[in-house]
């Protein structure tokens, strides 16, 4: 049998398990020019929440009663395609299906001897590229500058901080548990970190750990955390907006302090981006990340959930901050 | 006698006449290396409001009981300076005094035969440079794109729109009276204009006049007008933040819809700037503006208030939108 996960209902506010539905299909047979893929690792990411709405976003909406898509690592089980052979490992934006057919378009072979397969969904995949390109292309760090990162213990934030350190910056992370604070300081070499859930005055706390002010704010969360960081930015600050996880499940428009006066008086640049905006730089960025990984200059964390059945729950857990580093589902298929 | 205007009190909210105080000084005598200047034209500008607060802003605060400063055109009445002679006209950031001494630093000679003296405070001065450099350096217009301008009939907005037309864009202005709407359409060649005060649903009104969406939003005002424009921006929009006149007199932080989700989903760039950020480009920009002015490709409007005594009132009138184009006080001294 071949389990498939469909979008059952468009979530209202915070997604729930019943927004998803499991279905069964037969395992398909690859025709000429096609390959049969077996899903090994599935990436669940906050941005998928936007695709579950019926509104225009940076990527098209998922269709109701159709399978969800995300980054997936798969094994080629059967091939009628000249460029792939049985046993190859590939990555691509694929369906939440145990087995599926592909014509090879948008599918990349990956090398299990270079790095763990799952890392191609994280540090060597979309989230690593997002961290590297968002920081270098939008943040443009200079040695000695101060970088603040929200969602700092997540898949993107944890890599942003380490790249910031490589580039000679002071790096401060904002996260949601004391355990993650410790992880940022020890494993990910952040200079300091703040647990926003237990900090009464976040604006002051940021001022304290960033005594020279914030030159770059890499924003993964939006909302009140971002208000507190923006109150501490320096003249000519750069503000890459990578995500807004705190706002994805809001059912009405969130309101907060208007930021134009700060942007104006600080001659600051706020720029939203999606990693595909920089797709021309993917090869160069991947090479750089792989080099740092090999040299032990960056480390990554993964929260691995086991079982294809647990994909929806793993996705929901993102919004509770249950992941450290990249949230990945390992299907255990073989 | 020599009248001087001092900052009497820091305004709370909207400034009032009693925030200013007139005083008398004797007319000074220039020493070696100095010139005596007689004030002819005084620029009053919204950004001066920020300098009247005791808070850090992009320019230092004015001191209590000290004279205000702004852009001024003056005549050299007496000179002990080798580079200036009696009868020269100069522009500079000078005190609100009928007469004052200068050592020539930061003072530029201007040529009354090239353009009206007052135009060196507007289209050939700070506001013209702000319009040109904000639009070209931050907005980066491409032919066929749509530019929305708020504060469109003001000193900066009216020039932004005309430069946008020269660059092949569709230009829509937002302003506060029907008379200004007409002025934008006829004198300043905007493609369309909206009176925000009489438009019930500004978001829809902007959608109607910008059917292809907004690529560049040149923001002079902030607040709800900007909310309405941001709801209509295109992917990769550029958002120069030049001013926030609607917020300058707020006594508490203004709240509104959070904009990070729009910035994110549109991969938009919002950038605050002050004209001095681009000071290296002043000569090139001034040359370009003077050329367009000479060729009749841009026009400017001035609201001239007469009498040194009326400087404070002219400043207050900015916040009521009483000016069309550049607000200038002509002292009538001779």
The DSSP symbol for B231 reads T
In three-state secondary structure terms, A189 is coil
Return d(Cα B190, Cα B209) in angstroms, integer. 11
Question: For residue A114, what pLDDT is reported?
Answer: 85
Return d(Cα A157, Cα A245) in angstroms, integer. 12
Return d(Cα B232, Cα B207) in angstroms, integer. 6
Q: How far is A252 from chain B (nearest CA, A)?
A: 10
Is the CB of residue A290 less than 8 Å away from at least one CB of chain B?
Answer: no
Residue B327: CA count within 13 A, CB half-sphere: 22
B247, B263, B272: residue with CB nearest A272: B263
Q: How far is A110 from chain B (nearest CA, A)?
A: 29
Which residues on neighbouring strands pair with residue A329, listed in sequence order? Answer: A42, A305
* pLDDT over 90 (residue A49): yes
Domain boundaries A2-122+301-330, corresponding CATH code: 3.90.180.10
Report chain A residues whose CB lies below 8 A from the CB of B258: 222-223, 247, 253-256
* pLDDT over 90 (residue A39): yes
Report chain B residues whose CB lies below 8 A from the CB of A262: 272
Contact by Cβ (8 Å): B259, B223: no
Is the CB of residue A241 less than 8 Å away from at least one CB of chain B?
Answer: yes
In three-state secondary structure terms, A95 is strand
Alpha helices, H only, B95-177: 126-133, 155-166
Report chain B residues whose CB lies below 8 A from the CB of A243: 264
* pLDDT over 80 (residue A55): no
Which of residues 265 through 284 in chain A touch B, CB cutoff 8 A? 265-274, 277
Is the CB of residue B207 less than 8 Å away from at least one CB of chain A?
Answer: no
* pLDDT over 70 (residue A220): yes
B241, B262, B266: residue with CB nearest A263: B241
Q: Do B271 and A267 touch (CB under 8 A)?
A: yes
Closest-approach residue (CA) in chain B for A238: B271
Furthest CA-CA distance within chain B: 63
* pLDDT over 80 (residue A58): no
Return d(Cα B64, Cα B10) in angstroms, integer. 7
Question: For residue B249, what pLDDT is reported?
Answer: 85
Return d(Cα B321, Cα B152) in angstroms, integer. 11
Fold of the CATH domain B126-277: Rossmann fold (3.40.50)
Query: B139, B203, B248, B264: which to substitute to probe chain A, counting the most A Cβ within 10 Å?
Result: B264
Report chain A residues whose CB lies below 8 A from the CB of B261: 222, 244, 247, 254
Is the CB of residue A264 less than 8 Å away from at least one CB of chain B?
Answer: yes
B244, B257, B259: residue with CB nearest A264: B244
Q: Phi and psi dihedrals of B149, rounded to 5?
A: -125, 125
Residue extents of the structural domains in chain B: 2-122+301-330, 126-277
Question: For residue B58, what pLDDT is reported?
Answer: 56
Question: For residue B65, what pLDDT is reported?
Answer: 96
Report chain A residues whose CB lies below 8 A from the CB of B270: 260, 263, 269-271
Report chain A residues whose CB lies below 8 A from the CB of B265: 50, 56-58, 272
Furthest CA-CA distance within chain A: 63
Question: For residue A246, what pLDDT is reported?
Answer: 87
- Write the pLDDT tens digit of every residue in A73-99: 999 999 999 999 999 999 999 999 999
Return d(Cα A256, Cα A270) in angstroms, integer. 16
Q: Do B257 and A255 touch (CB under 8 A)?
A: yes
Tokens representing residue B104 in the block: 């020539």
- Write the pLDDT tens digit of every residue in A118-164: 999 999 999 999 999 999 999 999 999 999 999 999 999 999 999 99
Is the CB of residue B46 less than 8 Å away from at least one CB of chain A?
Answer: no
Closest-approach residue (CA) in chain B for A248: B261
Closest-approach residue (CA) in chain A for B270: A270
Q: For each successive 10 residues of chain B (334 residues), what is the average pLDDT?
A: 96 96 96 97 94 76 95 97 97 97 95 92 96 98 98 96 98 97 97 97 98 98 97 97 90 92 96 96 96 95 96 96 94 91
Q: Do B264 and A223 touch (CB under 8 A)?
A: no
Question: For residue A18, what pLDDT is reported?
Answer: 97
Tokens representing residue B329 in the block: 């006080």
Q: Phi and psi dihedrals of B282, rounded to 5?
A: -60, -45
Q: How far is A250 from chain B (nearest CA, A)?
A: 11
Is the CB of residue A140 less than 8 Å away from at least one CB of chain B?
Answer: no
Is the CB of residue B255 less than 8 Å away from at least one CB of chain A?
Answer: yes
The DSSP symbol for B26 reads P
């Amino acid at each position: 049998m071949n389990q498939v996960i469909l979008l059952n209902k468009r979530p209202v506010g915070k997604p729930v398990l019943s927004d998803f539905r499991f279905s069964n299909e037969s395992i398909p047979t690859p025709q000429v020019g096609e390959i049969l893929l077996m899903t090994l690792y599935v990436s669940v990411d906050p941005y998928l929440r936007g695709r579950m709405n019926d509104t225009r976003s940076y990527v098209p909406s998922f269709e109701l009663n159709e399978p969800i898509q995300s980054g997936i690592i798969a094994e080629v089980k059967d091939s009628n395609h000249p460029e792939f052979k049985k046993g190859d490992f590939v990555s691509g934006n694929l369906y939440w299906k145990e087995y599926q057919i592909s014509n090879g378009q948008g599918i990349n072979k990956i090398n299990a001897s270079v790095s763990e397969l799952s890392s191609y969904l994280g540090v060597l995949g979309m989230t690593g590229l997002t961290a590297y390109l968002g920081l270098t292309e939008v943040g443009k760090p200079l040695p000695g500058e101060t970088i603040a990162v929200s969602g700092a213990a997540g898949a993107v934030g944890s890599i942003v901080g380490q790249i910031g350190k490589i580039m000679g910056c002071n790096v401060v992370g904002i996260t949601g548990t004391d355990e993650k604070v410790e992880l940022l300081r020890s494993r990910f070499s952040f200079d300091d970190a703040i647990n926003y859930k237990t900090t009464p005055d976040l604006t002051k706390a940021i001022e304290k750990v960033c005594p020279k002010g914030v030159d770059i704010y890499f924003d993964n969360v939006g909302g009140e955390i971002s208000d507190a960081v923006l109150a501490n930015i320096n003249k000519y600050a750069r503000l890459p907006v990578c995500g807004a996880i705190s706002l994805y499940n809001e059912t009405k428009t969130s309101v907060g302090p208007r930021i134009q006066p700060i942007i104006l008086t600080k001659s600051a640049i706020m720029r939203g981006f999606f990693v595909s905006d920089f797709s021309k730089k993917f090869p160069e960025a991947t090479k750089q990340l792989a080099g740092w990984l090999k040299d032990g200059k960056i480390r990554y964390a993964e929260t691995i959930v086991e079982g294809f059945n647990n994909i929806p729950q793993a996705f929901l857990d993102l919004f509770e901050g249950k992941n450290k580093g990249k949230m990945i589902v390992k299907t255990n298929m073989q």
